[in-house]
Amino acid sequence: MSMFYIHQSVCVSAQKTNGVIDLDDIQPIKDNKLQAIEPNYDAIPPAMYRRMGRAVRLASGAALPLLNTLTFNGIVMGTANGGLEDCIKFLNQIVDYNEGKLTPTNFVQSTTNAIASQLAFFSANKGYNNTHVHRGLAFENAALDVGMMLNEFPDNSYLLGGIDEISAYQYNIESLANMYKKEVVLNTELYNSKTAGCIPGDGCAMFAVNKQKTGATAKLKAIGTLHTDKEEDVTQYLKHFIEKNVKDDALNLFLSGENGDSRYLPYYNACKKIVLNVKTEGFKHLCGEYATASSFALWLACYKIKSNNLKNVLIYNNFRGKQHSFMLVGDV
Amino acid sequence: MSRIFVTGIGIISPLGDTLSLNHTALKQGHCGISTLELIHSNFAGKLPVGEIKTETQVFKEKLKVKETGYTRNSLLALHAFIDAINDSKLSNKEIASYDTALIGANSVGGMCLTDELYKDANSKSEASEYLSSYDGGSVTLAMQERYGMRGIIDTINTACSSSANSIMYGARLIQNGLAKRAIVGGSDSLAKYTINGFNSLYILSDEICRPFDSERKGLNLAEGAAFLVLESEETVDNKKVYAELTGYCNANDAFHPSSISENADGPFLAMQGALQKANLQPGQIDFINTHGTATENNDEAESTAMIRLFEKVPAFASTKSNTGHTLGAAGAIEAVYSILNLINQEIYQSLQYKNPIPKTSLVPVTAYTKMPINHVLSNSFGFGGNCSSLIFSKA
């Protein structure tokens, strides 16, 4: 199935990706996290803004410039956890007030579909509206959903987004699960780290996509996902993916989702061997690790294709060694 | 585009843990709503809910779950999933094949473990075994891992319309050539989290719910799961076929985070779009399995949408009066009930209804009725204006 063209995009991340883009001035970790720099919220009514949790806020800030200038037939988001901070705030209310009279704001904001629906309310968009929450493949499934919508309705345009937040609560849960580095590792030194754990991050990338080539920045040519913990399954899948999709076109860049966690590095190294002569770059030193970090990678691929005149960029990401994805992004 | 057939069904609800128990209960007009017992909560012993009276540990033993981190939500899903794959006689090889998709849906994920999550998130004690079980994806991943599934795997959360969307997504994967078959559905378990959430919105009824009644007082929360096996007409071969999924549509009401607009644009567009997809005229719908939660807002808005779309509103009922509202599982559970309508050519009565809503005057079916049924429309509307409708047709 052919996918779609990416026209405009907005990326809110820990780096200077929104507004004046400067990826050379690498922003450092703060409190061992790479939290997204909050965008400008002037377009959000203050009363509404006050109710928003971080995830809804970041997504709104990233999407509003697109929603205010373009028309979409639908909105599809990928987010593993949505507003988890609101969720725990409400949970804390339940416990602290012993199931008494509680205020519903956090509860309503905590549902993962609150993001896509908030964007629909902003733009009075009554079209297709879906939220994929499949952890490390939430964004990939959202992209696939949009790909299918455009296969079914080739004249349409969609807003596609990937978004996750890192809150103090999420940090606690994942730290208990040994997901984050226990020692301080600078993000500029991320790929030299030999220990387990990653640097957590968060952010949001929004894409205006359709089937029209004219005026597009890049094309998402193919997407593939796989669940496995076996290295050979991943390499076999990659070989097949390249055979099927890359054809004679040169691959200029391999964007590797390695996150400095020694436990998951073997998957990336095995894939690098298959694209041996292709330049490889990481991206998690920029955005940190989160379930929908591949949406940052897609934004980065589009940016590099345009600014460096690249032809084809292959993104490989895995989430905790179990959920793997490949995205092939090409020039127009 | 390929036609989509249902070849397997698995269901567990407050009406029973098999398809046949659910069918009998619906036929007999049985209500599965009772008082909350199994959750440690101030609401226990008071609040009417659609609770499955089986302890979580008993499910673990029954399903031979040895893995850690299985929540009640995952167990309900697995229960329905196993019945669906057995019913469709799928081999383990077919289940693990690259062209078999699994699309789950739920709204609370592992947050049914409210107290454990509270401790883990606030670092109140040693880590629990559920650190990777709180998100919605965990429920689907538990099934994926157990069966080594390699096809497209996804989890959808659009609140109360979640599993209508997972059915729709699975069908579209087949129609776009990305899968040959899709195991689709959803689950949700009762949770202190949702009980308090819905309570804070003042939409829980302290009595058994009364869909479409003028005196309705709100909804009853419930738990359950249902999975369907969808197959393309090319793969279905001479297998048993329950029904055909002919129409589906997803639309947004774009009005309010937790209520539907007076004009009910979202519900109207979802139903209208499903008819268009199925290439049917409104007059060809024989029966509507409504969303019918019995909240003040939903039943009036849904009635408005039905009146707008249908010159003559078809026979309709709400099985929420039997089960309560199973949230993310409701779309799939009610898809199963719609299929029961079709294969048995019968309508199950809406319970606890007395008087019509003054503004809309619609009267649901209140007695078990045998009648010819070719097309059933099933509605699922969720918070965030997420409205979806499905149409099942006689195969």
Q: By three-state DSSP, how is residue B218 classified?
A: coil
State how many domains chain A has: 2
Please report, for the domain that includes residue B57, its CATH number.
3.40.47.10
| Confidence (pLDDT) at B212 | 98
- B78-92, B116-130, B156-170, B208-222: least confidently modelled range: B116-130
Asked if B61 and B116 sit in the same domain, the reply is yes
Residue B43 lies in a domain: yes
From B236, B266, B287, the end of a domain falls on B236
Asked if A17 and A158 sit in the same domain, the reply is yes
Asked if B228 and B276 sit in the same domain, the reply is no
Q: Which of B132, B136, B255 sits opposite A112 (nearest CB)?
A: B136
Residue B273 lies in a domain: yes
Residues of B within 8 A of A3 (CB-CB) are none
Q: Which two tokens stand for residue B74?
A: 């995952």
Asked if B269 and B141 sit in the same domain, the reply is no
State how many domains chain B has: 2
Question: Could you tell me how many residues make up chain B?
Answer: 395
Q: Give the list of residues 6+ apart from residue B191 with CB closer than 8 angstroms, or none.
A: B39, B108, B111, B112, B114
Residue B241 lies in a domain: no
- The pLDDT tens digits for B126-160 are 889 998 999 999 999 999 999 999 999 999 999 99
Asked if A176 and A281 sit in the same domain, the reply is no
From B236, B257, B292, the end of a domain falls on B236
Residues of B within 8 A of A130 (CB-CB) are 156, 158, 165, 169, 250, 386
Residue B129 lies in a domain: yes
Asked if A255 and A108 sit in the same domain, the reply is no
Integer Cα distance of B227 and B79 in angstroms: 9
Nearest residue of A to residue B177, measured between CA atoms: A1
What's the gap in Å between the CA of B250 and the closest CA on chain A? 5
Name the A residues in 239-268 with CB < 8 Å from any B CB: none
Half-sphere exposure of B214 (CA within 13 A, CB side): 10
Asked if B160 and B300 sit in the same domain, the reply is no
Integer Cα distance of A324 and B1 in angstroms: 29
- The pLDDT tens digits for A309-323 are 999 999 999 999 999
Q: Which two tokens stand for residue A201?
A: 């991050």
Domain of A277 in residue numbering reads as 218-330
Asked if B170 and B263 sit in the same domain, the reply is no
Confidence bin at B268 (pLDDT 50/70/90):
very high
Asked if A32 and A157 sit in the same domain, the reply is yes
Residue B185 to residues A18, A172, B331, Cα–Cα distance (Å): 38, 32, 8
Asked if A198 and A243 sit in the same domain, the reply is no
Q: Chain-centre distance of CA B111, in angstroms?
A: 18
Residue B268 to residues A191, B158, B252, B331, Cα–Cα distance (Å): 53, 18, 10, 17
Q: Which of A1, A134, A135 sits opposite B178 (nearest CB)?
A: A1
User: How confident is the model over A181-203, as a mean pLDDT?
Assistant: 97
Express as a percent the part of chain B with pLDDT over 90: 92
The residues that bridge with B390 in the sheet, in sequence order, are: B248, B378
Asked if A152 and A253 sit in the same domain, the reply is no
| Confidence (pLDDT) at B389 | 98
- CB crowding B99-121: b at 16 or more within 10 Å, else e: bbbbbbbbbbbbbbbbebbbbbb
Residue B177 lies in a domain: yes
Residue A197: closest CA among A207, A209, A188, A184 = A184
- A126-130, A166-170, B211-215: least confidently modelled range: A166-170
Domain of B273 in residue numbering reads as 246-393
User: How confident is the model over A19-29, as a mean pLDDT?
Assistant: 96
- The pLDDT tens digits for B18-69 are 999 999 999 999 999 999 999 999 999 999 999 999 999 999 999 999 999 9
The dihedrals phi and psi of A209, each to the nearest 5 degrees, come to: -130, 150
Asked if A148 and A45 sit in the same domain, the reply is yes
The dihedrals phi and psi of A163, each to the nearest 5 degrees, come to: -155, 130
Average pLDDT, chain A: 95
What's the gap in Å between the CA of B172 and the closest CA on chain A? 7
Assembly ipTM: 0.97
Asked if B165 and B74 sit in the same domain, the reply is yes
Q: What does A33-89 look like in DSSP terms, one character per residue?
A: BBPPPP---TTS-HHHHHH--HHHHHHHHHHHHHHTT---SEEEEE-SSSSHHHHHH
- The pLDDT tens digits for B172-203 are 999 999 999 999 999 999 999 999 999 999 99
Asked if A196 and A224 sit in the same domain, the reply is no
Please report, for the domain that includes residue A262, its CATH number.
3.40.47.10
From A153, A184, A210, the end of a domain falls on A210
Confidence bin at A248 (pLDDT 50/70/90):
low
From B189, B207, B236, the end of a domain falls on B236
User: What number of other Cβ atoms are within 10 A of residue A187's Cβ?
Assistant: 23
